[in-house]
Structure 1
């Protein structure tokens, strides 16, 4: 346990030094603030700069606060996932390439603790950033739109948090398995391309980690498909555990590839 604590402190210091502890939350919070504000003022902006013919009028849908949460999640599904991939694709492979990992491998530590320390710290950064972003959005939603029930918001955030833990685990497992470029490419394939495929063909199945964002948005209204929801949650949790053990194994197996 002392080795894990030491590795956790090392990861925290490293993410503070490379500013990931700061700029990732800032990115999520900025999008969280911009989403409700831009949706509230967009009709007025379009009227003032839209160069519409005289007498023409744009009819905008009445957005609810729940719609803004779902819209913000859509932003995080693309930009947020890209931020996670770009920020952490070299977490393990980068240390092998630069030889930094040599300083760790000569110490009495287990590769399971090495991988877990990164998994815990990265998840803490990503989840804290996401929650801060949604809380910032919630504040402006309460002011500019309608009040959204706290129970629904926390159920929404809890479901979406599991998806982000899955995304982080995928990135770190691929980083342990291959080079930084390969980890980036496969992470984009699994987290973004498969997401598009699920959106196009997903009507043929109801249980999938890529369905979690849909089930999260259903918290704000639709209540059907609870069995499929819980099966998707269970499947995602199992895949996370499998990927964690896979990442531990690959981190140990590829230790010999570390440059000295």
Structure 2
């Protein structure tokens, strides 16, 4: 692939200069730290500010480490996905609009290398941020709650990572196809709104990339049926490949729309 290494370094420097290497991991880490701490001290907080009648005890369910991971995943499913969309919605369309892409397109560049360099760097940032957040949560879960087996935690994170790769690929493919505003709106619809649809009527289908987050929590369950998980993994991988090919095609097709 022509110039892949050069494009990779260009993407890495660009995301470093706009501080995505800093603020995206910080957001995930902060949520990872706050989730176990907040859940641990929530009964005391409710008792102190809840204006409860004297003598009434506040009963709070006894949470386990797996419950905290599931709760944190819920935070990432909304805030984390929204951050990914907003951070990368203009990755390709933005370069076309501001004319930056002109400096690249006039060179002997492979559009496959162009798209894949952006895809790889974005996934490194997102997955690195999510894993740092989960590891921070795991540290406080071990201190404040109970021990969670490493094998289950890593299986949980690996399954959720595939969902994040799917989200990043959707955002970049849409950025290659549509203007920044359209890419953002459609990406939010596909990744966030469809989650709501899946939660309402998703009982009618068991295999879907949108179910990967739910299936990730199955690793904490005893004797859980993982057959639908593996089918969803296979479908997700196929869709990711299709979206990558679509993104490469649209990057090349829309090159002529670049502002000069």
TM class by smaller structure: over 0.9
- Is 1:34 the counterpart of 2:63? The answer is no
The answer for the alignment partner of 1:226 in structure 2 is 226
The answer for the alignment partner of 1:211 in structure 2 is 211
> Following superposition of structure 1 onto structure 2, how do residues 18-167 of structure 1 map, counting pairs within 5 Å?
18-167=18-167
Q: TM-score, normalised by structure 1?
A: 0.99
* Contact kept? 2:32, 2:72, Cα under 8 Å: yes
User: What does the per-residue CA deviation read over 1:127-183, in whole Å, with 9 as the maximum and x for residues that have no partner?
Assistant: 000000000000000000000000000000000000000000000000000000000
Structure 1 residues 183 and 223: CA distance shift in structure 2, 3 A = farther
CA deviation after TM superposition for structure 1 residue 228, in Å: 1.2
- SS in structure 2 opposite 1:174? helix
The answer for the alignment partner of 1:200 in structure 2 is 200
Q: Which piece of structure 1 moves more, 26-35 or 46-55?
A: 46-55
CA deviation after TM superposition for structure 1 residue 54, in Å: 1.0
Measured in 2, the distance between the counterparts of 1:111 and 1:178 equals: 17
Measured in 2, the distance between the counterparts of 1:129 and 1:138 equals: 14
- SS in structure 2 opposite 1:57? coil
Q: TM-score, normalised by structure 2?
A: 0.99
CA RMSD of aligned residues (A): 0.8
CA deviation after TM superposition for structure 1 residue 2, in Å: 6.1
- SS in structure 2 opposite 1:219? helix
Measured in 2, the distance between the counterparts of 1:184 and 1:39 equals: 33
CA deviation after TM superposition for structure 1 residue 224, in Å: 3.5
The answer for the alignment partner of 1:185 in structure 2 is 185
Measured in 1, the distance between the counterparts of 2:40 and 2:204 equals: 36
